[in-house]
A and B are shown apart, each in its own frame.
Chain A
């Protein structure tokens, strides 16, 4: 059996359509009559759709799939599944069922597909869900992911755009996986850096979501294709600003040197084009700028948590770190200023 996926052009969340292009298309879709039970839909740019089915139960739906960004099929299956499941956790929900989404060339060794789906199934189980079916089509290239259904209490939905001034911003995974994968694609990444990126991408956001459910989370999203700044921009929602301390941001160390070598993705540049007008950098190195725009596959949760007399954000951070997550408080939300995002 061949244990490498033959093609690997630029997979993971780097394969996402650029945010600018996408919103132009979405704006033109016919909307239909409003339904008050659709709690989160297209309009909100949130991570998943939420539909209320009873007073205390809402269904969370999401789907995500992409081409491989690693050679090993089992690892790819794990990453694609962890990435798709993450949207449920980012909404504060629990995973119920998942369906496989598969594109696979007919000429390719079916054992490769078996390995991909085994990796995915393992992650669905770990997430506490049931793999209930799927759909596959013959295609020129490999693509894999999941359609996931979860459940959430309508009163406890984590919106991605409801932070309040004074909230502390917590990030639960290191940035830089897109750059490390890009470096790996051209044979420039060290084995250690790639291992760290893979461990980060296969890790579920389940633990982070479970721990944070004990705290008053005002806003939450998972950092994926639009990069840290792109998702932060959506979180500020045109109403607020934030001050980010780049020195506190967890980063895969080698990603800095790969960025200095310009081993950058096209998607990172698309993110820069989309969001740079909202960002003011103060004394930031070129490499760090790139890491902040870097598209993340299966990235961490970005949460806005109050930090009043209860010191909730600090306590949450302590719990997250105690659970072994490389989490950090990376900045603070403030009332709107000239620019939306200040990075110092």
Chain B
């Protein structure tokens, strides 16, 4: 665990110090930050929520608060390869609209950030609802945590197989499968690489990312 003393520091310094400590971790782990006001606690909590870190805070004494963040394996990996900014993505996509079909991008086996169990249930529902659409996507890309979705034990395997049968191209990042030790478990679609992922996304008429 790394301890950060941000007592007497005005925002955004406690956040900057904490971010540096998280970088120092170079992977999963705990960071504890001491701050002297409630607003700094809220700003730290806001960051943790956005990043998907588990966060707890308590008031130790008058003018002393402890904020404890737990950086999980996946979030640590996510920080390394920052996801493309969705706003930029949107503007790129509008220009290319209708040039190509819809590409669905699944970067995690959970939908949204918050409760993991809820996130998994939502993703299951998303894939099912997707398979029920009149207009199916042309391609579904799976990477990082999303790579778990196309393997043998996936809860959405049947939905994906049925979409593949309808002609939907299903591609999973090979590096990611390898990383999670799932290379031999791929049960639907093909393995792909970063060049293809970039190409599919740039040429997409529309990108859908739950």
Contact = CB atoms under 8 A, between A and B. Distances in A.
A256 B87 CA distance: 10
A273 B87 CA distance: 26
B50 interface: yes
B85 A269 contact: no
Contact of A9 (B10, B19, B43, B86): B10
Interface string B1-16: 0000000001111011
B158 interface: no
B57 interface: no
A186 B13 contact: yes
Interface stretch (A39-47, A50-58, A260-268): A260-268
B46 interface: yes
A150 interface: no
A215 interface: no
B39 A182 contact: no
Q: Chain B's interface: helix, strand, loop or mixed, by majority?
A: helix
A183 B87 CA distance: 21
B87 A266 contact: no
Interface in B161-188: none
A266 B13 contact: no
A266 B50 contact: no
A286 B43 CA distance: 12
B100 interface: no
A227 interface: no
4 closest Cβ pairs, A-B complex: A266-B11, A262-B47, A266-B39, A10-B10
Interface of B: 10-13, 15-16, 19, 37, 39-40, 42-43, 46-47, 50, 85-87
Contacts of A287: 87
Given A182-B11, A273-B42, A263 B50 contact: no
A9 B11 CA distance: 9
Nearest to A285: B87
B37 A262 contact: no
A66 to B, nearest CB: 14
Nearest to B40: A266
B91 to A, nearest CB: 10
